[in-house]
Each structure stands twice: as C-alpha cells, then as structure tokens.
A = this chain, B = another copy of it.
Amino acid sequence: MSLDTASMVRMANAVRALSMDAVQAANSGHPGMPMGMADVATVLWGEYLKHDPKAPDWADRDRFVLSAGHGSMLIYSLLHLAGYAAPTMEDIRNFRQLGSPCAGHPENFLLDGVECTTGPLGQGLAMAVGMAIAERSLNATFGNDLVDHRTWVIAGDGCLMEGINHEAIGLAGHLKLGRMIVLWDDNNITIDGSTDLSTSENIKARYEATGWHVVECDGHDFGDIRRALDEALSSERPSLVACKTVIGKGSPNKQGTSATHGAPLGADEIAAARAELGWDAAPFEIPSEVLDDWRSTAQRGASARSEWNGRIENHGDRPEFERRMAGDLPDDFSLDSYIASLMAEPQKVATRKASEMALGHINEMLPETIGGSADLTGSNNTKAGGIGPFTADDRSGRYIYYGIREFGMAAAMNGMALHGGVIPYGGTFLVFTDYCRAAIRLSALQQTRAIYVMTHDSIGLGEDGPTHQPIEHVQSLRMIPNLLVMRPADTVETAECWEIALREKTRPTVLALTRQNLPQVRTDASVTGQSAKGAYRLKSAENARKVILIATGSEVHLALECAAELEKQGVGADVVSMVCTQLFDEQDDAYKADLLPDVSPSEVLRVSIEAGTTFGWDRYTMTNGLRIGIDRFGASAPAEDLFAKFGLTVDAIVPQMMNKLNA
C-alpha cells in the first residue's frame, strides 16, 4: 500500500523540518544529508523496510544501517516518526546535548533501531555486509520461516571513497549477498566541495566490476525510487541504488552545495526553506495528519511480525533459535574436559596452534561460530573443527575466506555480532591490527562480541622483519576502552582465554598468539580458571621473595627460567602470568594486593617482561621497577637470534635484576 504523493511529500518534509530544526537548535550537525535523502528514506521506511516500531528487537526485522552517520538526524527523525518509543521529541530537541540519545552520530547502545554505530566513514556499509552474512547463515540453519530479511544501507560519497568500501563490496559481491541493498546518496558533494575536487571515478562501473547489480533513480521522485528498489529486490546480487539527489534539498539558497553539509542552515534560511517546502508547523511540531500517515506505515511490519510469531510459536527450532539470538552459550558448553586433557599430557606448541586445538572443540560444541582469516588461514590456524567455507553456493559453511581485507573482515565481524545469532572470529597477523584498528575500536564502542585471532605476536615471528613484528601493538590495544586483550602463555591459558572471550557478551577480545612453540607452563590439574582473573601467581618464591616477575604470553616461560636462576642465587621470585591486564584491573583490592603487594622496590622488585614496548608497564612494576621489552623496531632474523639481540634471555635479564637488587 502506497500513500498518495501529497502525503509522501509531507512525510518527507517532516524529516527535513526535524533535521534542520534540530541542527539549528544544537548549532551543530549535518542537515544536508537528511534533507537530501528524505524522499528516498520515506519510501524505504514507509513502504519497504520490514520492521515493527513496537518490537525493535524482533529477530527477523530488516536491518537498516545509516552508513553516512553524520546525517544522524535522518534516522532520529525516522525512528520518531515511525513510532519507536525513543527518541522522543524532547530527545530530538536535545540533539547533540549531554544525555540525549540523539548523539552527534548514531550509537547502537543509545537507541533501539540504531543497528550499529556509524560516523567513521565506510564502516557502516562494511558492517552491513556482516549482517547480510549472518542473515544468510542463520537462514541456512533455521529456514525461511524464521530468518528471511534484508539489510539496507544509506551511504554517501565518503563511505564509497574510503578504502574499506573496496574490501566490503568485494566480499559482498563475491559472496553474492543479494539481500543487501545500498542506497547511495549520489549528490556530488563532499565537505571540501564538489566531488570533482577529489575523484573522477565511475562508481557504478566499479560496483559492476565487483559483482554488484547497479540501478539508478531520481532520489526526489517517489515513483522512480520505488521502481529502483523493486529492481534491486529482484536481483540475486547485492545492489547499489544510485539515488541522484540534491544535498540540502528544500533549502532554496543553499541546496546543492557543501554549505549544507556540516553546519546549521541559519534562521533565515530555515525560514526560507519552510516557505519553499510549504511547511508551516512550528519547530519540533509534527502536524497530526503527517504523524498519522507515518504511524500508519507501521502496520506493514506489525502484520509481518504477527505472522512470524505464528510461525515460530510451535517451531521445533524455537529454543535453539532463541538461545542463539539471545547470545547465550549452550548450558553444557565447557572446555573443562579439554583443559583437563591438556594438563594430563603437556604439549609444546605455538599458541596459534593451541588456539586451533581449542577451536576444534569450540566449533564442534558451538554451531554459532563463524570463523575466518584475511588470507592467512594456515598461519592464523583459524580453520578448525571441520567447518567448511561459507560461499555464494553454500550458506551452511562457517568459515569465511575474507581475502586480503583485514579492515573489511573486522567490520564484517562487527556486523555479524550486531546482527546476533552468530559469534564471529577472524584472524590476521597482530601487526595488521593497524589495518583494522578503526573497526576494533568500533567493536569496543559498540560492545560487540567479536573475537580477533591475532597471531605472530612479537619478534618471535622471526625473519619477516620489522614490518611484520608488533612492538607497540599489544600495549596500544590495551588502551582501547572496553576491549579485552589476552596474551596466553600456553595451551591451557589459550583455552581459558577462548572460553572467557566466548562468554563475554558485550566485550570484544583480541587474542595475541605466537608463531613459535612454547612449553606448557600450566600442568596442575587442581588449579583451573586462572586466566579469568587476568593475572595469577604461576610460581611462588622458594627463597625469601625479593622479586616478582610479571610476564605475558611467550615471555612467561622466560620469566620462569629467570626465576629459576634467581632462586639458584638465593633470591626468591614469584612469577605472575598477566594474561589480560583489563581483567586483572577489575579484581578486588585484596586479590591485587596479594599478587602485587604495595611494598617498596627495595623490599620486592617488580619486573615486567613482554617482547614489545615497555611503555605503560610502569603501572604494574611501579616507577622503580624494571621493565624488560623492546622500544625500537624489530629486525629480520630467526626468532632465537632476535630474542638474543633484544636482550630477552635469561643471561641478559638476570644480571639486570641482580644489579637493581644490589643497588
């Protein structure tokens, strides 16, 4: 059912009015995009988008992503007009003010109906790829009755110019994600001015070259928009709908220029726009007939949800589907017996291999995992447990060959996690977190359960040299709020870390794993679950304690060897394995004080050992402690030579400690 054109015009103008008024009130924001895309968005939300404002968390809703997140007033307007409980008009009045859910950019944790946080350009569209993957994956398991929805994106020129766009559409085109439709706000304007300033690209040809279906429309002609969307719906390939629009449409003197992009229109121009649009309602008031029209569109989604409720009610898969959408692990999930087997038969393997071993069990027990790697499957050891590839022809696969697309992979993982029903993990070399750091940050901000399997985590990777050797990476990731960074020391800790990461529903995890083999440091089956405390005492001083060695990952066994040498010399030394600093920081004071007692360095010297930057380790060693690490770029050589070169050996470390003790 379509509303008549006059109604549609008013509905779209309601979006324009709210957008320009809210930006004006805040004296900050971006009116141009919402005004330019108001007509397209009105058709999409009014007639196509499958959603029910009364049930924003309905599992089978279409996902809508405003990739051009700076145009946030578009989605705030749509949510309000369509009848979501929030934002209220008061929230919109307080656009960009402290405490309003109508933040400068849309935040998934502030409003239902905002499927993901956008603003960092290009990432919304790339997350949508992950949502579309999750949808097809769940569809393969649960069928059309339960899972049958689309992913819609509104994106601007910025989203398309960013490098991640190439990765995202390459992946979507290859995987033939036909239920993903991108509405491109083709307005020829960026912040700096005309797109001619910086690009000469034929975007439609590029999308076609990448396996997409492309259709165009006049973004201000409702009929033409409908025709284009219908064409997009009929394609088996993902679709780009190039919507030719005028930025700031409705602002008589500024429309079509970058002046409308990122600044309020000003009171005079808003008055002129009201006249132009024939909109005479006061700011933040929506005429009742317009609101009624908008609210009437909700019936479509409500009916669909009612039918879906009928289908799921007695569906045999209902408990499993609901468990997965709730993000709960199966009640009987546990790695305890696997860990017990490790205790019984200690193994010297790389932690990347230990991760593969753990994944073998995890992937068998948890059908919701979807793994992958950015073209380093054999190096990241991410394919385990017999899972096969997720492809255009086989949606039942649970392994994604992401290609050489680290950023696209990480963003897709965010999209999958946000969609729900699946738990994504994916790998690359730790040093290449630099390629996807912006997405890892969004994992943390959005509180998604994305698990990053980052191998080759130090100079221990050896010959590939400084471009491939992380130095600052582990510490710099530890700085990102709400991100768990885990650097396990052996098979047992690796398994424990995996279990923690899987149980963290609102925090992403980076697992930093070695290329090189490591001896198993945990063999006491009576002591379990230690990694959950973030740090724990792995070895207690035998002589009177004079030293506490704090190490992570591949340096834990080195710390044990140093401690053994100290004990030989009559110096008692604890060894603390600090698997995850963030989890340790969350422990109670008594636990922390027991592990790292607050006594002067002359009594007990604290020493950190990590094969990376020493920057920031003061917080655990205290100022007068000793920090062993690498504060320069690495080098190309066999790993053993590098550990020697950079002083990460017993012979190099123990004398430094003795000097400090004797000072």
Q: Which A residues have a C-beta under 8 Å from some C-beta of B?
A: 26, 28-29, 69, 96-100, 103-105, 107, 117-122, 157-158, 161-167, 170-171, 173-174, 190-192, 197-203, 205-206, 208-211, 373, 375-379, 389, 401-408, 431-432, 434-435, 437-438, 441-442, 444-445, 462-468, 471-472, 475-476, 478-482, 613, 615-616, 618-619, 622-623, 631-633, 635-638, 641-642, 645
A417–B632 CA distance with the chains assembled, in angstroms: 22
Q: Is the CB of B463 within 8 A of A96?
A: yes
Chain B residues near A622 (CB, 8 Å)? 623
Q: Is the CB of A403 within 8 A of B190?
A: yes
Supposing A166-B163, A209-B206, A379-B191 touch, asked if A463 and B26 sit within 8 A by C-beta, the answer is: yes
Q: Is the CB of A479 within 8 A of B468?
A: no
30 pairs of residues in contact across A and B, judged by CB atoms under 8 Å = A69-B467, A98-B641, A104-B468, A105-B467, A105-B468, A119-B467, A122-B404, A162-B404, A162-B435, A163-B408, A165-B166, A171-B198, A174-B198, A174-B199, A190-B404, A191-B377, A198-B401, A198-B402, A200-B211, A203-B209, A206-B206, A432-B438, A434-B437, A445-B467, A475-B476, A479-B616, A481-B633, A615-B616, A616-B618, A616-B619
Q: Is the CB of A161 within 8 A of B167?
A: yes
- Shortest A261–chain B CB gap in Å is 10
Q: Is the CB of A441 within 8 A of B445?
A: no
Closest to A110 in B: B636
Q: Which 8 A-B pairs have the closest CB atoms?
A: A163-B163, A198-B403, A166-B166, A103-B636, A205-B209, A472-B479, A98-B637, A119-B467
Chain B residues near A201 (CB, 8 Å)? 170, 173-174, 209-211
Chain B residues near A435 (CB, 8 Å)? 120, 162, 438
Chain B residues near A211 (CB, 8 Å)? 200-201
Q: Is the CB of A120 within 8 A of B432?
A: yes
Q: Is the CB of B104 within 8 A of A465?
A: yes
Supposing A377-B192, A403-B161, A480-B472 touch, asked if A119 and B618 sit within 8 A by C-beta, the answer is: no
The interface residues of chain A, by DSSP majority, are classed as loop
Q: Is the CB of B618 within 8 A of A28?
A: no
Closest to A102 in B: B636
Closest to A28 in B: B463
In-complex Cβ contact of A466 among B98, B200, B408, B445 (8 A): B445
Q: Is the CB of B192 within 8 A of A631?
A: no
In-complex Cβ contact of A162 among B26, B163, B198, B619 (8 A): B163
Chain B residues near A192 (CB, 8 Å)? 373, 375-378, 401, 403
Chain B residues near A29 (CB, 8 Å)? 463
Chain B residues near A121 (CB, 8 Å)? 404
- Shortest A471–chain B CB gap in Å is 6
A377–B262 CA distance with the chains assembled, in angstroms: 13
- Shortest A423–chain B CB gap in Å is 22
Chain B residues near A162 (CB, 8 Å)? 163, 166-167, 404-406, 435
Chain B residues near A199 (CB, 8 Å)? 170, 174, 403
Closest to A174 in B: B200
A sample of 9 more A-B contacts (CB under 8 A), given A192-B377, A206-B209, is A98-B641, A103-B636, A105-B636, A162-B163, A162-B167, A162-B405, A174-B198, A201-B209, A616-B618
Chain B residues near A637 (CB, 8 Å)? 96-99
A105–B462 CA distance with the chains assembled, in angstroms: 12
Q: Is the CB of B200 within 8 A of A206?
A: no
Q: Is the CB of B69 within 8 A of A119?
A: no
Closest to A431 in B: B120
Chain B CB count within 10 A is highest, among A158, A191, A379, A466, for A466
Chain B residues near A403 (CB, 8 Å)? 161, 190, 192, 197-199
Closest to A440 in B: B434
A28–B461 CA distance with the chains assembled, in angstroms: 11
Q: Is the CB of B615 within 8 A of A468?
A: no
A166–B645 CA distance with the chains assembled, in angstroms: 39
Chain B residues near A405 (CB, 8 Å)? 161-163, 198
Chain B residues near A99 (CB, 8 Å)? 637
Closest to A162 in B: B404
Closest to A263 in B: B378
Chain B residues near A190 (CB, 8 Å)? 375, 403-404
- Shortest A275–chain B CB gap in Å is 28
Closest to A156 in B: B404
Chain B residues near A205 (CB, 8 Å)? 205-206, 208-209
- Shortest A622–chain B CB gap in Å is 4
Chain B residues near A200 (CB, 8 Å)? 173-174, 210-211
Q: Is the CB of A164 within 8 A of B161?
A: no
Supposing A97-B638, A479-B615 touch, asked if A375 and B463 sit within 8 A by C-beta, the answer is: no
- Shortest A525–chain B CB gap in Å is 36
Chain B residues near A105 (CB, 8 Å)? 464-465, 467-468, 636
Closest to A26 in B: B463
Chain B residues near A163 (CB, 8 Å)? 162-167, 405, 407-408
In-complex Cβ contact of A161 among B120, B404, B463 (8 A): B404
- Shortest A350–chain B CB gap in Å is 15
